[in-house]
Amino acid sequence: MKKKILVIEDETLMNRTIEFQLKKDGYEVDTALDGKSGIAKIEANHYDLIILDIMLPYVNGLEILAKIKQNDSRKYIPVIIISATGLEDTVLEGFKLGANDFITKPFILPEFSIRVRRLLLSN
Over the stretch 63-108, which tens digit does the pLDDT of each residue have?
999 999 999 999 999 999 999 887 788 899 999 999 999 999 999 9
> What ranges in the chain are assigned the alpha helix state H?
12-24, 35-44, 61-70, 88-96, 109-122
Instruction: Tell me which residue range forms the domain holding 36.
Output: 4-122
pTM: 0.95
**How many domains, the chain?**
1
Q: What is the CATH classification number for the domain harbouring 99?
A: 3.40.50.2300
Angstrom distance (rounded) from CA 57 to CA 59: 6
Q: What phi and psi values does residue 101 have, to the nearest 5 degrees?
A: -155, 160
Q: Please tell me the predicted confidence (pLDDT) of residue 39.
A: 97
